[in-house]
Amino acid sequence: MEKYTYQKLSAIIIIGFLSFLIVKNPFSDTYMEKLRSDAMTVSSAKDSLLIEIEEKSEQYKIPPQDAKIDRVWKKMPGHNGLKVDIDASYDKMKEDGVFDENKLIFKQVSPKIHLEDLPPAPIYRGHPDKPMIALTINVAWGNEYLSSILATLKKQNVQATFFLEGRWAKENPDLVKLIEEGGHEIGNHSYSHPDMRTLSSDQIKKELVDTNEIIRATIGKTPVLFAPPSGSYHDKIVDIANDLNMKTIMWTVDTIDWRDPPVSTMLNRVLKQIHNGAIILAHPTRSTDAALEKLLTEINEKGYKIGTVSNLLDEKRLNYRTSESRS
């Protein structure tokens, strides 16, 4: 028994002595101190990087722009601003530990005033800082060119806005469905293509309501955009469309395709006039069918995105780095 107690006591003494040596070992002290120093250095570097991103973020801020009624262009959409996403930017830079503006990540900031906050007014264009163009195609005839035009849009991966005459939509439900199935936006182009300025308020409303009902019955969606035939309108027409939850859409670039111009003439006319926020007016004509693929290609090559009117009027910015971006 005494021998067992002695062995146990000896083991405790040896363990205690070794522990003392390890704790007081100068080499161990140096090693632990280095670990602490390295950890503090890393932590300090991270903190300083985060502080630097926070301090520099202000110089990269772009304020949002409110929607407004312009003296020339009437109702114009706003445009989102940008601010640095500090946490996402830090995550992007922390591995290198140094600030790199090429790794900054941004998030959008909405304006305070939106299109819906403004009184009724026609819309001619999108925001001048948005590198996007909307293609509109007004349809009251031209069935023989529609399938080819739709095929070209599909090939180019472009969605357009088709403004349909109600009478035409009633007679051509399969073509209406074909347009909608292509992912295109469908708007109201009146029922019988009259000069809207010559109609009474009740007649104006009937033209719009009858067309909306036909389109809704055909594709299950009610138009939110109205394009007056020949661009003929007055304030009361815009007000009635607004009461029916529709924006009145005009254009800034006219193909004048109804005159059947040569392809080169039409391309030259349109490409000389395009700009940020442009709305192009076209119809299902021989000229548009023949020129469309070349036109879309050249617009893309100039750096513009092509889309629907609703996409153009959206306040969202294009071409900025998010946390999902690869760059």
Q: What is the pLDDT of residues 242-290, one digit of tens each?
A: 999 999 999 999 999 999 999 999 999 999 999 999 999 999 999 999 9
pTM: 0.82
pLDDT band at 322 (very low <50, low <70, confident <90, very high): low
pLDDT score of 19? 53
Segment 107-116, tens digit of pLDDT: 999 999 999 9
d(CA 105, CA 87): 9
Segment 191-242, tens digit of pLDDT: 999 999 999 999 999 999 999 999 999 999 999 999 999 999 999 999 999 9
Segment 135-145, tens digit of pLDDT: 999 999 999 99
Considering only 19-23, 96-100, 167-171, 306-310, which range has the smallest mean pLDDT? 19-23
Alpha carbons within 13 angstroms on the beta-carbon side of residue 272 total 8
pLDDT higher at 167 or 97: 167
Strands, E assignment, 258-321: 279-282, 305-307
d(CA 8, CA 174): 96
pLDDT score of 327? 37
How far, in whole angstroms, is CA 82 from its chain's centroid? 14
When the pLDDT of each residue in the chain is averaged and rounded to a whole number, the result is: 89
d(CA 18, CA 137): 88
How confident is the model over 36-49, as a mean pLDDT? 58
How would you classify the pairing of strands 132-139 and 161-164? parallel
d(CA 213, CA 217): 6
pLDDT score of 319? 76
pLDDT higher at 287 or 18: 287
pLDDT higher at 35 or 103: 103
How would you classify the pairing of strands 106-109 and 132-139? unpaired
Is the pLDDT at 22 greater than 70? The verdict is: no
Say how many C-beta atoms besides its own lie within 10 A of residue 162's C-beta.
Answer: 28
pLDDT score of 21? 47
d(CA 317, CA 319): 7
H-helix segments, 220-275: 235-243, 263-273
Say how many C-beta atoms besides its own lie within 10 A of residue 270's C-beta.
Answer: 23
**What one-letter code names the amino acid at 203?**
Q
pLDDT score of 96? 87
Segment 116-140, tens digit of pLDDT: 999 999 999 999 999 999 999 999 9
How confident is the model over 22-49, as a mean pLDDT? 54
Say how many C-beta atoms besides its own lie within 10 A of residue 269's C-beta.
Answer: 15
Cα dihedral: 319, 308, 270, 72 (round 10) = -90
pLDDT score of 47? 81
pLDDT score of 326? 40
Q: Check residue 101 and report its DSSP letter.
A: G
Closest to 204 in 3D by CA, of 176, 232, 163: 232
Alpha carbons within 13 angstroms on the beta-carbon side of residue 22 total 6
Say how many C-beta atoms besides its own lie within 10 A of residue 138's C-beta.
Answer: 25
pLDDT score of 252? 98
Question: What are the structural domains of the chain?
Answer: 1-60+79-112 (no CATH), 117-313 (3.20.20.370)
Is the pLDDT at 323 greater than 60? The verdict is: no
Closest to 219 in 3D by CA, of 261, 172, 265: 172
Is the pLDDT at 305 greater than 60? The verdict is: yes
d(CA 188, CA 169): 10
Segment 164-188, tens digit of pLDDT: 999 999 999 999 999 999 999 999 9
pLDDT score of 95? 86
